[in-house]
Structure 1
């Protein structure tokens, strides 16, 4: 056999251009759909989204398959943006707790910037609420929170050390449950003097994750007293 027998097949220029066109068109549709959901609400139908985007429903089905496919595609874009913000914030942190606060703050900021888009990419629009969360946790949208959990594990490994690897494997999942539920309750609460702002809420959640519900500093004191009494 000669060298030509092992040569890579030539790339069809027309196919490459068509693939590039499809990818660019897909990005445009995701951007338009995100804008439509932000304006119309989390329950916007595919027809509503297509109309707002200035195209037809079959076009969205052609690129995304169904509404769940559009949710996943939009979720991937939102998640990528959130991850960039988290990594930038964590890079500036000097302690694991500051890193955790930066992640929680970035998460709340993303959700608050467009509650409709957040709800659209983290839940299925129809059916029982418990079933929606089960599907979101284990199905096509599960990667959204799984990716955040993986990022949250890093500062906890630094905080707890290598001997706590088993605990670290459980902690992010439990932490995401608290961050998500507390954050969504905060997000849906009407504005009032008693409602914390985004930074304050991120601080509260970080404290709950690190030391519990006790006032800052008290958790360590109670733990020290317990060890002394043993």
Structure 2
């Protein structure tokens, strides 16, 4: 690939990202039932002009899903850069997840409606983000980033189970809050997850985790 070809490919990719970001804005404004025409209008192009950058509707939806997952993962910064006591990190990560869902409910519902797997090998956007977060948490449990090294045979089921529980509970809350606000749900999920961790790894490990970062707050 020569320089000119690389520059053209870079320009096309940048333009495609601009259109995806415009699509997300349109979804935020018009809801999960947003039309292609509304997306094109938000992007300042015609419908055919929009699809010159995508291989049909499925490609556009996949790009929107990928961009939304990228933004959500960015919001979960507390998970990727451990600091302070593990329980506090857990609380911050859950709060970040709930905050993103509450602030971008239309995008989340759009992903649920339009990002379903088309084959056994593919993933939905929600499955993808659960997998990404779970894998990171499992690795930190194994390598001791959270304050104690946990055997892989315990760390992986624990990480995937806790992340799955939070994701399922948050998705249900978004549809049916039952009077709970973000703060109340965050506190409840933090307590539930910490209880699961305590049972899974044992009291000695939990006591060690409780001491991590204690000197920074004393």
Q: State the TM-score bracket (shorter-chain normalisation).
A: 0.7 to 0.9
Corresponding residue SS for 1:63 = coil
Question: Which of 71, 91, 100 is residue 81 of structure 1 equivalent to?
Answer: 71
With the length of structure 1 as denominator, give the TM-score of the two structures. 0.70
Q: Distance in 2 between matches of 1:155 and 1:203?
A: 22
Mark the runs of 5 or more structure 2 residues left unpaired by the alignment. Answer: 197-202, 204-218
Q: 1:137 to 1:151 in 2, by over 3 A?
A: farther
> Larger Cα Rg: Structure 1 or Structure 2?
1
Q: Deviations over 1:53-110 (max 9, x none)?
A: 3322333333232333223322332333333332257636312222222221111111
Alignment of 1:1-230 (within 5 A): 11-13=2-4, 15-88=5-78, 91=81, 93-121=83-111, 123-125=112-114, 132=116, 138-139=122-123, 141=125, 142-157=127-142, 158=144, 161-189=148-176, 194-196=179-181, 198-211=182-195
Q: Distance in 1 between matches of 2:108 and 2:76?
A: 16
Q: Deviations over 1:161-186 (max 9, x none)?
A: 44531122122322232112211122
Q: How many residues are treated as equivalent by the alignment?
A: 195
Q: Larger relative contact order (C-alpha < 8 A, sep ≥ 6)?
A: 2
Superposed displacement of residue 47, structure 1: 3.1
